[in-house]
Amino acid sequence: MAAAIVALFIPIVAMGVILSVVANLASPTSGASTASGALQGKTFYVDPEAKAAVAAAAAASKGNSVDAATFGRIADQPTAIWLTPEKHPTAEITAYVSAIETAATAANQTPVFTVYGVPNRDCGNHSAGGLSATEYPLWVKAIAAGITHQNAVIILEPDALALATQCNNVSERVKEISSDLDIFAPVGATVYIDAGHSQWGPAADMAELLNKAGVTKARGFATNVSNYNDTAAEQTYAETISSLTEGAHFVIDTSRNGRGSNGEWCNPSGRALGAAPSKQGVATNQDANLWIKPPGESDGTCNGGPTAGEWWDQSARELASNAGW
């Protein structure tokens, strides 16, 4: 089943109660990417307007010091900023991305964006939406126009390729992802195409889709986005894909996989925060562990959760508690 994805973001005035903490990433080894060493020496931007930061401030204002500390600690981790056309339409998204870029660059940090607006997104499931085939490339170009400092990591279209067979739109998806890569190439973004996860389908099938989409034009691919699979299983899956894609590099979403998966993808109980964003050794094609799905945000209206992407105190508390926080 498709991983649940962040759907919408709520605009908030930045709160000053959360400390901004970043994690270092090490230099990756050479591979298919044209951007050798693309992550070398980078630290990653912590968004002061992230929902975890807002929740921490709200808890503090109510005198709830326990929740404030828990949510604040989550907010301290560099986590991907999701770009959706529902929240930031074409006419507005360039300015939004540019503002994040400017703030991050001023702090000598790099923002991580998740681009999530492909047509027929999520096959109409919990994270349904996206743009028309005509509107979509214009929106992606508007995102690229905001990367004014050539300073961004992009996680490209979660589930798009992994769902293509199920959605019966393989040809369209491959063309859309390939076109996105061409759009982002001139602005120097470090792009990882979403590649599903280890419990979805065979690694060889995903590698074939990535090759058709032109993964050699990207830094590589991302796995486990918005899912809960154990890191070791994801590394095995990803290394197999890498071996079939001319050594493409990869990142793994570890935001909520501290206890692995129980087989559910939508707000499963008993899960835990995973390893913090961190560098990887040079003996692997894995560039990093990243927090791509923001912990504490719902997967959708399942197992008692609110709409996909909405903050959910209960989930944040459970994830943190089960991780020993």
Q: Which residues are catalytic?
A: 159
Q: Beta strand 286-290 with 153-156: parallel, antiparallel or unpaired? A: unpaired
* Residues 105, 42: Cα–Cα separation, whole Å: 11
DSSP element (H, E) containing 97:
helix 90-106
User: In the numeric block, which tokens belong to residue 187?
Assistant: 């602005």
Bridge partners of 110? 44
Rounded-to-integer distance, Cα 75 and Cα 234, Å: 25
- Report whether 162 contacts 227 (CB < 8 A): no
Alpha carbon distance 179, 213 (integer Å): 9
Dig out the tokens for 270 from the structure: 């008993």
